[in-house]
């Protein structure tokens, strides 16, 4: 055996991991979303906090709706389609900005989970709830981490989904 060859030294240095680019925090009213978002932001070096997607969407709805006549179903249907399209277009623009952020910068977005409550009594409320549901789905799809706040407790639902996928693949 040739003594000139040394055994390789195992690489033990940790490879630095980049912080998540997009964190989505959603939950019901007074569930602790904003407090959790602030705690998350304080743990990261370079973070932008967008609180709240729900309020932003309400502003878009007010701008876009133009107060369609309640009795004119066709006008309301057209306005709702435009609202859905504009909201999703705005979210895609936001996601493009997230992709263009510096490597160590993170966006934390806070939003309400409105699909678990009562069905709104009015068409405009239904439109708002449904569109926010679509917006939340798109944000969750793009996010690195998704937390659902329940009674002040953060549940990392994206990680749970990943773990479930791994465990179902092992069986």
User: Domain ranges in the chain?
Assistant: 22-170
To the nearest whole percent, how much of the chain has pLDDT over 70? 81
| CA distance linking residue 107 with residue 167, whole number of Å | 30
Q: Give the pLDDT mean for 75-84.
A: 75
Which CATH class for the 22-170 domain? alpha beta
At residue 159's C-alpha, the angle toward residues 158 and 160, to 5°, is 90
pLDDT in tens, 89-148: 999 999 999 999 988 899 999 999 998 888 999 888 888 999 999 999 999 999 999 999
Return mean pLDDT, the chain: 85
Answering whether pTM is above 0.85, one says no
Among 68-72, 122-126, 166-170, the least confident range: 68-72
Q: At what angle do helices 53-65 and 73-100 cross, to 10 degrees?
A: 140
């Amino acid at each position: 055996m040739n003594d000139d060859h040394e055994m390789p030294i195992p690489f033990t240095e940790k490879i630095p991991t980049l912080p998540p680019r997009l964190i989505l925090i959603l939950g019901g009213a007074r569930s602790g979303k904003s407090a959790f978002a602030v705690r998350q932001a304080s743990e990261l070096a370079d973070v932008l906090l967008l609180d709240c997607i729900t309020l932003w969407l309400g502003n878009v709805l007010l701008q876009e709706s133009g107060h369609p006549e309640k009795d004119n179903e066709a006008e309301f249907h057209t306005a709702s389609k435009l609202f859905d399209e504009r909201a999703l277009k705005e979210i895609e623009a936001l996601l493009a900005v997230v992709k263009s952020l510096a490597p160590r910068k993170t966006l934390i977005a806070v939003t309400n989970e409105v699909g678990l409550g009562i069905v709104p009594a009015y068409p405009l409320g239904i439109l708002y709830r449904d569109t926010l549901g679509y917006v939340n789905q798109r944000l969750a799809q793009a996010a690195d981490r998704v937390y659902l706040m329940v009674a002040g407790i953060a549940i990392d639902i994206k990680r749970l989904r990943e773990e479930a996928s791994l465990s179902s693949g092992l069986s």
